[in-house]
Amino acid sequence: MNGQQFAAVLDEALTNPLLRGLDIACVRNLPEDESWWSPHTHRTLEIYLYPGAFGSERLRSMDGRGRCLVERTAARLAGAHEARLLPAPPVPLRVGEWLMEGGYSLMSFGSVLFVARSPLLCGASLLFGAGAVAGGRVLYAAMWQRAGSLRGVGATIPSTPVAIAV
């Protein structure tokens, strides 16, 4: 299960609409090898969020109960003992973050400004904003991999238990 699939499953499991729609960059399980399924291993799930309004900014504005609910739900879904919501580490080039922020701004402000004037301009601002967000994500992910700050983070969660002889 990759990060996007995990985000979709987490959204379905959460009932509070204010906690849904987190912008998950990747999911990392600790330990990262087959010992994940060992009975005496403490399993931890690290969920890294993209920068922006639906990622690390929402993480800062979340209260303790909401954050705890998201972490407990994520841990239960992954079969972990605990989960942690973390902002994605910074990358040397921040162009991807700027594109994502600009795209979110264009989608929100452009649609408000143009909704009364022209539905075509409103749709265009939403379309270009979504394109800028998608382009920013791609650029941010590419820089993340290039910088190696999370090299080895495979954005995967073990889907089947591994038999371990005891």
What is residue 159's predicted lDDT score, i.e. its pLDDT?
44
Give yes or no: residues 16 and 82 share one domain: yes
Give yes or no: residues 126 and 47 share one domain: no
Give yes or no: residues 161 and 121 share one domain: no
Percentage with pLDDT > 70 across the chain: 81
Q: How is residue 88 written in tokens?
A: 């994605």
Domain count, the chain: 2
Q: pLDDT digits over 16-26, tens only?
A: 888 888 888 88
In 3D space, the residue among 18, 29, 21 whose CA is nearest the CA of residue 4 turns out to be: 21
53 confidence band (pLDDT: 50, 70, 90): confident
Give yes or no: residues 43 and 7 share one domain: yes
Give yes or no: residues 15 and 74 share one domain: yes
What is residue 90's predicted lDDT score, i.e. its pLDDT?
66
Give yes or no: residues 18 and 50 share one domain: yes
Give yes or no: residues 39 and 51 share one domain: yes
Q: Which domain holds residue 39?
A: 1-89+150-166
Give yes or no: residues 96 and 165 share one domain: no
Q: pLDDT digits over 97-138, tens only?
A: 788 888 888 888 887 888 778 888 888 888 999 999 888 888
Q: Highest-confidence range of 2-6, 16-20, 64-68, 138-142, by mean pLDDT?
A: 64-68
Q: Is the pLDDT of residue 63 over 80?
A: yes
Give yes or no: residues 37 and 96 share one domain: no
CA distances (Å), 62 to each of 8, 23, 25, 53, 78, in order? Answer: 20, 14, 18, 12, 22
Give yes or no: residues 83 and 12 share one domain: yes
Helix (H, G, I), strand (E, B) or coil at 46: strand
Please, what is the average pLDDT of the chain? 79
70 confidence band (pLDDT: 50, 70, 90): very high
H or E segment and range at residue 11: helix 3-13
Q: How is residue 118 written in tokens?
A: 């022209």
Give yes or no: residues 16 and 54 share one domain: yes
For the residues 74-99, what does the mean pLDDT come to? 82
Give yes or no: residues 26 and 107 share one domain: no
